[in-house]
Amino acid sequence: MSSTVHVVGAGIAGLTAALVLARRGHAVRVWERSDGTGGCTHHGGGMLAPVSELDHGEAWVADLGHDSAARWRALLPDAPREVLATDGLLVVAHRPEWPLLDEHVDRAVRAGHGARVERVDAAGIAAREPLLAGRFHRGLWLAGEGRVDPRRLRRVLLRELDAAGATVRLGVEVDPARDRRRGGPLDGVVVDARGLAAPDLDLRPVRGEYVLLRAPAVTLRHPVRVAHPRYPLYAIPRGEGLVYVGATQVESGHEGPPQARSVLELLSALYGLHPAFAEAEVVELGVGHRPARPDHRPVIAPREGGLALNGLFRHGFLFAPVLAEAVADRLEGRAIDPRVSPFVAEAACAC
């Protein structure tokens, strides 16, 4: 049965849920307090790397996100490569860190995803990333993993929402607890996807810092992760000569610009990936705050008149499609994907 659904929050979780609901025939209205150029989504890396992310989580991370790339492609079948690319991810390590590659393989095997990891030698690395020829002699290739460009993806989602008949209101702050009164703006079912602004979910901010570079002479074909115990790094090609460099994870809600230490660590690790990056131009230094729960697990929680979707931590782009489907199924009284069930609060949805 179709209904009016108000999605509060236009981050990746809210926009994806809104699109799924709109395509199922619901009248969807999206409310966002900002102009849409801030928040965690705007600053994110956009990785679709469930097995690669096992070093930041338990086996459920890969289980829940293993088909994320396919779900994104089904949701946006015409998205060009600069928006959505799922043609693999390369993990490399310098000789002292080779044991970290073995640990990564072991984690994948224990999680039941070992078949998705291929060990590659110097020739295999060079074949996939000619830029790195001769610089690394051991690595891991994860076929099917990839990335989205968050800013381009957001524009695509907004266009698709418009095509599906949804209404998006930017720069308007609403409060589900306050604005569901009779005659108020939230006169239907509400999906609260406000990230850190949402109450009662035991959320905390986890700060992530990044550098956006323009390096037209340094071409990467795929996302590249550098395994290191202290200075882990991922470098993500963004097209037009841009490379997004990130990986910091700081337990802080500080709103200021990136710390000098973080920038030095990121750029030093990038120089270790290839010294030609020293000639790149720094386009942007940025900070985002990931909404995280104590166990780092996402949650779909009951709310009066709807649901809350939150706590996606560093896996927002990875988990958004499967959680969006689960939210729609929950509101429609359908069975939920069993992989999502552990992240759904027990109380019944009052909608």
Residue 185, pLDDT > 90, answer: no
198: nearest Cα among 102, 273, 291, 337: 291
- Domain 86-143+204-290 annotated CATH 3.30.9.10: yes
Give the global pTM.
0.94
Percent of the chain with pLDDT over 70: 96
Phi-psi region of 69 (alpha: psi -120 to 50; beta: other; left: phi over 0): alpha
- pLDDT value, residue 349: 43
What CA–CA distance (Å, rounded) separates 214 from 221?
Answer: 15
- Average pLDDT on 320-328 reads 98
Q: Which tens digits make up the pLDDT trace of 38-66?
A: 788 999 999 999 999 997 778 999 999 99
pLDDT of residue 350: 40
Return the pLDDT at 116.
Answer: 95
Question: Rounded mean pLDDT of 285-314?
Answer: 95
Q: Which residues contact 291 (CB under 8 A, 6 or more apart)?
A: 40, 195, 196, 198, 203, 204, 205, 310, 311, 312, 313
- Contacts of residue 307, defined as CB under 8 A and 6 or more positions apart, other chains included, come to 190, 191, 192, 300, 301, 327, 330, 331, 349, 351
What is the average per-residue pLDDT within 7-28?
97
Neighbours of 66 (CB within 10 A): 21
DSSP conformational letter for 344: B
- Work out the mean pLDDT of the chain and round it to a whole number: 93
Q: What is the pLDDT of residues 244-296, one digit of tens each?
A: 999 788 999 988 899 999 999 999 999 999 999 999 999 999 999 999 999 99
Query: In the predicted model, is pLDDT for residue 351 greater than 60?
Result: no
CATH 3.50.50.60 residue ranges of the chain are 4-44+149-199+294-343
Lowest mean pLDDT among 126-130, 174-178, 192-196, 319-323: 174-178
The answer to whether 7 touches 140, Cβ cutoff 8 Å, is no
CATH superfamily membership of 4-44+149-199+294-343: FAD/NAD(P)-binding domain (3.50.50.60)
Q: Looking at residue 18, what is its pLDDT?
A: 98
Domain with CATH 3.30.9.10 in the chain: 86-143+204-290
pLDDT digits (tens, 9 = 90+) for 221-242: 999 999 998 888 999 999 999 9
Q: Judge whether 178 and 268 are in contact, CB under 8 Å.
A: no
Cβ within 8 Å of residue 275, ≥6 positions away:
none
Say yes or no to pLDDT of 309 above 90: yes
Least confident of 74-83, 172-181, 188-197: 172-181
Residues 258 and 209: beta-carbon distance below 8 Å: yes
